[in-house]
Amino acid sequence: MQVLGISVDSSPANKVFAEQNGIKFPLLSDFQRKVSEDYGVLNPDAGFANRTTFVVDKEGVIQFIQKGKEAIDPSGAGAACSTLEHKK
């Protein structure tokens, strides 16, 4: 399993955020907002991406989506990953 974070903030801002919050997984910059737009989570008027968690399987298919405040809690994504792991 691979965990990646993506933010519309710059790489330097993401680095500081990761250090301040003890984030151990890669935090990538979507400064051009292309990924956020492609995944349908960009709020173009405000210039930010709505907080969303996606679980993507090895074939690149989205298996789980969690939006808003619920996306802060990783337990839903963890359960989805566990379910995928047991489908092998």
At 24-52, the pLDDT tens digits run 889 999 999 999 999 999 999 998 999 99
- Indicate the domain borders of the chain: 5-86
Give the model's pLDDT for residue 14: 94
Name the percent of the chain lying above pLDDT 70.
Answer: 99
DSSP 60: S
pTM of the shown model: 0.78
Strand 27-29 relative to strand 48-49, pairing: unpaired
Name the percent of the chain lying above pLDDT 90.
Answer: 53
- The CATH code of the domain at 5-86 is 3.40.30.10
Nearest Cα to Cα of residue 46 among 59, 58, 33 = 33
Task: Compute the mean pLDDT over every residue in the chain, rounded to the nearest whole number.
Answer: 90
Is the separation of the CB atoms in 55 and 77 below 8 Å?
A: yes
